[in-house]
Structure 1
Amino acid sequence: MIRLDNTEIGSRNSLNTPHIYELPKLQAGIHTITVRVDNTDYPTKGGHLTSQDTQTNWNGITGRMELQFYGESQLTNIRLESNLAARTVRITAILDSNSETTLAVSAQSFNSEETHAVDEREFPVSPGLFSVDYVLGQNALLWSEGAPNLYNITLVLKDRDGHITDQQELIFGLREFRAEGDKFTINGEKTFLRGKHDGLIFPLTGYAPTDVEEWVRILGISKSYGINHYRFHTCCPPEAAFTAADMLGIYMQPELPFWGTITEKTDDGHNQAEQDYLISEGYAILQAFGNHPSFVMMSLGNELWGSKAKIDSFLKDYKAFDNRILYTQGSNNHQWVPEILEHDDFFSGVRFSRDRLFRGSYAICDTPLGHVQTALPSTLKDYDDQIVPLDLLNGEKMEDTAGGEIQIQYGTEAKTVKADEASGEWIPHIPVVSHEIGQYATYPNFEEIEKYNGPLKAENFKIFRERLESKGLGHLAAKYFECSGQLAVSCYKEELEAAFRSRRLAGFQLLDLQDFSGQGTALVGVLDAFMDSKGMISPEEWRTFCNDAVLLARFPKYNYVSGEPFDAHVELSCFRSGLPDTLELRWELTVDNGILTEGTTEVNVPAGTNYIDICDLEITLPVVDRMSTIVLSLSIQGTDIRKSYDLWIYPEKSGNMLEGIHVFDKLSSDALALLEQGEKVLLMPKPETLQNAVEGYYCTDF
């Protein structure tokens, strides 16, 4: 709430956008402006922006406070809209004036090696809403992830005498981000979204930074790991984040601050005030940040349930208000019974029906589980048959297993919901983005405790350390951290490669590249919550399986016996411009830094091709007398595109491998007696006999 002297001017309750007030004309002298901030009753309780699971108790003002002064005429509600084909920008605004005035427009690129200045042009404009088209020219620079070229567009209002009454400068990027078939395109070229989740977790302050420099640092770290897309979980970042993303070429997707159920007026528990507030927040976000070229997508919330008709009506209204960006009904809506709505531009989820999965791991309450959890480790998996099943293409009806009540993951808990509105089997006709993939946890690094010197404290880490030390295992903490980290990296590598192998997928959104200090504890990153490396993998190595061009080898297993044949199919997922028409693959198999065998293959790259089959490898592995690690290395000559896989070869053995070892399924008196005698005992308990145990899978528990 704002008061000027003793008069209340107004109040705002947006949690996502600036609070702007128009003050009356002030008389000469001293005036007092009073600001009251009250966070005791948020308009919505859902979402990472306000929930106690993920944020501190905000109570203050972030960013800048300032007074802005205008002359007799001013521009408000300025909207910039790209027309790529015409190489123009349409400027729409409201002129607040008592008379016609002149608008002078000029543009100058500022962040690219190739500079481009556009001649100033003047337009006569009348009070009220107006639009003008400003021509940038056929040599205008385009904005994309690979070349985020930006312009400063200067708007100057002049009165009849040529005096300046208002001057504003806006950042603009000429671009066209579209959904075409099963892929997104940027300026007519297909792109693949390599996204990450962000819940605005900042342990040192408890709130999101509002300076561009810090967001350039944060987004720059992610980009060094091959990330080109950010999905903000039930929140919207400050404008500084969009500005930094403009500069770096990051595709941004804010989300309404809601994680719950959208209801009709006749439904039980309907809260019209909350629903109206959420929708108004969406309009405010579009109005405040829609000019940023990085703002290309928006979601209505996280894992929403409720009325699909009502959700679709919101999409329709937003698209009518602002068609510059792409919309989705939400992230993983109606988890078990999802459906594409009429006004969806893209689909974000984890499955199309109970068994049509396109993520590598799932929570136990969201079974069936994924292939990284349950399948023999290999590099064969992709999701193309789940996205477009052959039996559906052939017109066969698949069994509908949905219906009744189901249990889903909901925040830090499980929730039972009704799933009796099954939509049946369907094939997506718009781009599909996999939701919150990964979530491979690592053991805590207790050295991080000292880094929490702000409002948030690492009390959870202290509890974990006490538990470990109480078991007499404190000396193994560093090893647990290191080994669990390497397992997580190998799982992330397979998770991401499965996405890149899927030729019908449009992108993914990781959870996460960084640790997520919310919803209890989620140590799911190769970076900690401060965006610092945990030492598990370098950015360069991570980019070998997360980049705009990724080499892939498909083979059925990682473990082999002496002399066994090794077969692999090599392919390239490529969304990089500027590569030559002919590529040369070099491959080699090495052991102990010595080359066992090597070769090269050339392949022609047809124009517009994003998936390139290169060759098949057929290699007889060497005979070994001890377990040996062999490295398969692949690289595209003259580029940074490379990949390596570790394979293990075991000597061929005969006879009983457990000879001399006593096997027990419980620690009986006989087992203890044998141990007392110095014998070797292998304890293999039956899972059903254990209490307080988690069933084991290949990766850590989801």
Structure 2
Amino acid sequence: MNSSDFTISLAGEWRVRATAERTGNNDGAPFQADAVVRLPGALAAQGVGEEISVNTPWVGSIFDPAWFTEPEYARWRVPGNIKVPFWLQPEKYFRGVARYEREVEIPGSWAGRRVVLALERAHWATRVWIDGREAGRNDSLSTPHEYDLGAGLAAGKHTLAIEVDNTVVIDVGPNSHSISDHTQGNWNGVIGRIELVATATAWLDEVQVFPSVAARSARVRGRVGGAETLSAGAVARVRVEKQTADGSPGDAAQARTAAIGKNGVFEIECPLGADAELWDEFNPALYRAVVSLENGEARAVTFGLREVGTEGTQITVNGRRVFLRGTLECAAWPLTGYPPADVESWRRMLRAARAHGLNHIRFHSWCPPEAAFVAGDELGFYFQIEVASWPNQGTTVGDGGAQDAWLVREADRIVRAYGSHPSFMFFAAGNEPGGPHSAAWLTYWVERMKALDSRRLHTCSAGWPEIAASQYHVTHWPRTHQWLDNLKSRLNALPPETRTDYRDFIGKRAVPVVSHEIGQWCVYPNFDEMPKYTGVMKPRNFEIFRETLAEHGMAGQAREFLHASGKLQVLCYKEEIESALRTPGMGGFQLLGLSDFPGQGTALVGVLDAFWEEKGYVAPEEWRRFCAGTVPLARLERRVFEAGDELRAEIELAHYGPAALEKAVVKWRLVTGNGSAVTEGRLTPPQAVATGALTALGRVEVTLDESMLADGGAARKLTLVVSVEDGDGGARAENDWDVWLYPKNGSAVRAPGAAPRDAVLVCSEFDAAAEAALREGGAVLLAIPPERVRGDAKHGRVELGFTSIFWNTSWSNRQAPHTLGILCDPAHPALAGFPTESHSNWQWWHVVSRASAMILDELPPELRPVIQVVDDWFTHRKLALAFECRVGAGRLLVCSVDLREADGANPVVRQLRASLLRYAAGADFAPRVELAAEQVRDLFTRR
């Protein structure tokens, strides 16, 4: 018979009764169904559950209670218009115990065979009954639930009942992505394979493969259940075959046999040949070990010939140093509300990650289904798997609670189910644990797992703590130590040219360090993605944000906000990723994340949306310039120059490709906006570059003379482009960095208050002189000191920073900054002398660090700022650094950038001041919106 003769799929219709309590076996009473649903599937997706309300019993911490209490959210707390801003909202919600029942028919050909019920990815705890007889319980969040129904099932119909409990069965932490509503949702059901399998009375209970790169062999270990029913001297037969691209078997090595011990255990070494291919990100070669018994039982296990280790503070794969370029996968699947169990869905996600130069995925506080490992094996991805726990919100480990024992059981189950997959390279007990005894307990966990399985590296947890037992650390300290030294540095503490690397931190560590959850830089919501939510999860949070944007008179600017904030986000990610790549000996980084995180108040941190699709402001090719296996790097002493200054840059190459570069040719050029070079050169001679390291290539030094300015000696942006090519037409990598060149002495400006009537009055107070000049039809530049700008009644002053919002203001207690960069029209004549794009770039740091954002909410909606600031999507204030208006017969240009030192050492602010003045003095200065003097005065505090 074929193996399909001994498998019956139970996919299809099931009767269900959903209650808030455990159902037991009904004590023989007839089963009363509430509905008929399909499995695989989940209840909420099929309309079973309660309507969302203010009393919905969510699983997940709600750090910001504003939705429940604040009047501005009252309209979204009304039945029929419930909209929550914390996460994606399911159409229905069920939290409790559901009992699923159906009839199954056992064929006569199964007589005398052992019958097993397999439930892949149940959520969460299950119990099973066959004809009223309980068959057992299971509480794994990560692995299939299997139930041995015995060898005595008679042919014919039987009643099968499955109870699924999606309450918090074990306290693994309410925010664990394995159970929380923040991402996948707290669903009830079974979403993978549901089948009955008939085995012989002796069966292959477990098969694991332990490859050896040095020996080019694979040790196959297994255990036979019911081995006592085999004949004396029974053996396990093992055949290893190459797996082809389409998954079919290829060439096979000669079969070998191993004796089965009395305890059912067997072990055999299988040589693969001297030319056996190694598995890694560049060549994901796969093999399959097929194990069979004399009674016809067989199992195939896919594996790769690979070993992961460490060399100092770097990670190695097959002896070659690698750099982990990773992102988090937080179980956010917005169409279904649960993770997919099919391979193609995972291939699609991993291909998107690979297109952006990544080689690593961290599964934050959960473990994916088998299909993810299959896709990771095929595509050569390096997975960090975590036991399904985030124990720091009222939950601890190491205190002897039920979660301690469960975490050990779950880790064992994960290794048993997925341990041979080559993509399963790193293992952690969970995320950011808490508790006074956590370090001691995590030491026990790591030591236990290292002794159990040497096929991967183990760390105690993601984030913290660092313990001696860990083989590598995943820690937030590198980015905190240098680039984000404290919360103030998210604002204005560090200019762009001071950010270098993390070597001071890495040099003090003995094992590899992978930087934890870097980035978290937000963008404005992409309302254009809302039609994609055709499944059970709905973007009611986006609906709230879109409605409030319209109420603030800026509905037409949503795409502009997305694009401007997106460009700033990419700028921040580029600098942070390059800081990691510039660090000698660093192990890698893990982004949070490449895709959006839909929970925790809506954390729009991705350059991809929650569907892993592009948002339109950065292409994968652009991202790979600074995030790939081979990346040219430049250590620039500064970004802003005056004519006559010298640009100096140390050029390095972070090269983690498959092989060394034999003759690396390094070229550089300094180009204008249209791509034409003002100067160029080559670092000579061609040089060999080892793989697995950061290599210094040389130094670029060029004098930026006046000939490089724009026509008429005007300021301009230039871009330093560095390319590295291996020999003539070989592998090529390119990267670039913007710099700005300004005239040496700026532009002459008349002294404030001394201009004739037809010139511009420059003042820092909206005083009698300013009002008089306006009454007489004059032009006034009001450069108000930033400290005089008013805040709003509820939130106070706008905390303006150069970087975008970290995570989001709702979930971070309004941690600064509160804004998402600037937005302007580069073609506006007020900016004609100030080289800029429509969004923030590094030169704006020198402006924003000496500015405050004006709140224009009380002004006419048609007023469009000259320099706008993109606000937080929870507040949607109309913010500006500069705007223009008419006051009486006069024309007023208001700026909240500190221009008082414009003749000093800040050529950027000096240039902005000159550009604004030239505009205010010209015929183009013709504001259309009229304001009263008091409306202007109310924007600022009185002296």
C-alpha contact (below 8 Å) 2:320/2:692 kept by paired residues: no
Instruction: After superposing the two structures, state which structure 1 stretch, 141-150 or 601-610, moved more.
Output: 601-610
C-alpha contact (below 8 Å) 1:374/1:698 kept by paired residues: no
- Please list the CA deviations of residues 11-34 of structure 1 after superposition, one character each: whole Å capped at 9, or x if unmatched: 111111110111111122222221
1:597 aligned to which of 664, 676, 679: 679
Does structure 1 residue 40 correspond to structure 2 residue 167? yes
Does structure 1 residue 686 correspond to structure 2 residue 782? no
How many angstroms does 1:697 deviate by? 2.0
Does structure 1 residue 141 correspond to structure 2 residue 271? no
Cα distance in 2 between the residues matched to 1:370 and 1:432: 23
Does structure 1 residue 628 correspond to structure 2 residue 716? yes
The aligned runs of 1:450-529 (5 Å cut-off) are 450-529=531-610
C-alpha contact (below 8 Å) 1:156/1:168 kept by paired residues: yes
Cα 1:544–1:24 change in 2 (3 A) is same
The aligned runs of 1:570-609 (5 Å cut-off) are 570-591=651-672, 592-601=674-683, 602-605=685-688, 607=690
How many angstroms does 1:494 deviate by? 0.4
C-alpha contact (below 8 Å) 1:360/1:373 kept by paired residues: no
Paired residue for 1:28?
Answer: 155
How many angstroms does 1:168 deviate by? 1.1
Cα distance in 1 between the residues matched to 2:286 and 2:718: 47
What secondary structure is seen at the aligned counterpart in 1 of 2:561?
A: helix
Paired residue for 1:404?
Answer: none
What secondary structure is seen at the aligned counterpart in 1 of 2:739?
A: strand
Cα 1:280–1:473 change in 2 (3 A) is same
Paired residue for 2:739?
Answer: 647
Cα distance in 1 between the residues matched to 2:282 and 2:146: 35
Instruction: After superposing the two structures, state which structure 1 stretch, 320-329 or 185-194, moved more.
Output: 320-329
Cα 1:271–1:657 change in 2 (3 A) is farther
1:58 aligned to which of 157, 177, 187: 187
Paired residue for 2:326?
Answer: 195
C-alpha contact (below 8 Å) 2:397/2:441 kept by paired residues: yes
1:357 aligned to which of 480, 495, 499: 480
Relative contact order higher in (CA < 8 Å, ≥ 6 apart): 1
Cα 1:606–1:474 change in 2 (3 A) is closer
Paired residue for 2:702?
Answer: 619
Cα distance in 1 between the residues matched to 2:245 and 2:534: 39
Does structure 1 residue 169 correspond to structure 2 residue 300? yes
The one-letter amino acid of 1:375's match is: L
Paired residue for 2:370?
Answer: 239
Cα 1:117–1:360 change in 2 (3 A) is farther
How many angstroms does 1:116 deviate by? 4.9
Normalised to the residue count of structure 1, the TM-score between the two structures is: 0.87
Cα distance in 2 between the residues matched to 1:360 and 1:191: 23
Instruction: After superposing the two structures, state which structure 1 stretch, 490-499 or 63-72, moved more.
Output: 63-72
C-alpha contact (below 8 Å) 1:583/1:605 kept by paired residues: yes
C-alpha contact (below 8 Å) 2:288/2:300 kept by paired residues: yes
Does structure 1 residue 323 correspond to structure 2 residue 405? no
Cα distance in 1 between the residues matched to 2:130 and 2:316: 49
1:17 aligned to which of 135, 143, 146: 143
The one-letter amino acid of 1:461's match is: F
The aligned runs of 1:112-261 (5 Å cut-off) are 116-127=251-262, 128-158=264-294, 164-261=295-392
Paired residue for 2:234?
Answer: 101
Cα 1:42–1:492 change in 2 (3 A) is same
Paired residue for 2:107?
Answer: none
Paired residue for 2:470?
Answer: 344
The one-letter amino acid of 1:209's match is: P
The one-letter amino acid of 2:699's match is: D
How many angstroms does 1:237 deviate by? 0.8
The one-letter amino acid of 1:655's match is: A
Cα 1:197–1:370 change in 2 (3 A) is farther
C-alpha contact (below 8 Å) 1:358/1:434 kept by paired residues: no
- Runs ≥4 in structure 1, deviation > 6 angstroms? 667-676
The aligned runs of 1:515-554 (5 Å cut-off) are 515-554=596-635
C-alpha contact (below 8 Å) 1:357/1:386 kept by paired residues: no
Cα distance in 2 between the residues matched to 1:537 and 1:386: 31
How many angstroms does 1:504 deviate by? 2.5
Cα 1:608–1:535 change in 2 (3 A) is closer
The one-letter amino acid of 1:384's match is: R
The one-letter amino acid of 2:384's match is: Q
C-alpha contact (below 8 Å) 1:179/1:431 kept by paired residues: yes
Cα distance in 2 between the residues matched to 1:502 and 1:607: 16
2:693 aligned to which of 610, 628, 638: 610
C-alpha contact (below 8 Å) 2:177/2:388 kept by paired residues: yes
Cα 1:316–1:132 change in 2 (3 A) is same
How many angstroms does 1:450 deviate by? 1.6
Cα distance in 2 between the residues matched to 1:661 and 1:506: 57
- Please list the CA deviations of residues 144-195 of structure 1 after superposition, one character each: whole Å capped at 9, or x if unmatched: 111110012211112xxxxx42011111101001122100000011000001
How many angstroms does 1:654 deviate by? 4.1
How many angstroms does 1:222 deviate by? 0.2
- Please list the CA deviations of residues 559-578 of structure 1 after superposition, one character each: whole Å capped at 9, or x if unmatched: 22223211111110111123
Paired residue for 1:161?
Answer: none
Cα distance in 2 between the residues matched to 1:672 and 1:258: 64
The one-letter amino acid of 1:95's match is: V
- Please list the CA deviations of residues 361-410 of structure 1 after superposition, one character each: whole Å capped at 9, or x if unmatched: 48xxxx3555896321137511102323xxxxxxxxxxxxxxxxxxxxxx
- Please list the CA deviations of residues 232-288 of structure 1 after superposition, one character each: whole Å capped at 9, or x if unmatched: 1111111111111001111101112222257587xxxx5611222222211111111
Normalised to the residue count of structure 2, the TM-score between the two structures is: 0.65
C-alpha contact (below 8 Å) 1:203/1:452 kept by paired residues: yes
Cα 1:37–1:101 change in 2 (3 A) is same
Paired residue for 1:418?
Answer: none
Paired residue for 1:412?
Answer: none
Instruction: After superposing the two structures, state which structure 1 stretch, 44-53 or 641-650, moved more.
Output: 44-53
Cα distance in 2 between the residues matched to 1:696 and 1:175: 49
Cα 1:450–1:157 change in 2 (3 A) is same
C-alpha contact (below 8 Å) 1:445/1:481 kept by paired residues: yes
How many angstroms does 1:55 deviate by? 3.4
Cα distance in 1 between the residues matched to 2:487 and 2:559: 33
CA RMSD of aligned residues (A): 2.5
Cα distance in 2 between the residues matched to 1:534 and 1:699: 19
Tell which structure's C-alpha radius of gyration is larger.
Answer: 2
C-alpha contact (below 8 Å) 1:232/1:253 kept by paired residues: yes
| Alignment length (residue pairs) | 642
Paired residue for 2:515?
Answer: 434
The one-letter amino acid of 1:503's match is: P
- Please list the CA deviations of residues 607-636 of structure 1 after superposition, one character each: whole Å capped at 9, or x if unmatched: 566222111111112422223121211112
Paired residue for 1:400?
Answer: none
What secondary structure is seen at the aligned counterpart in 1 of 2:720?
A: strand
Cα 1:254–1:467 change in 2 (3 A) is same
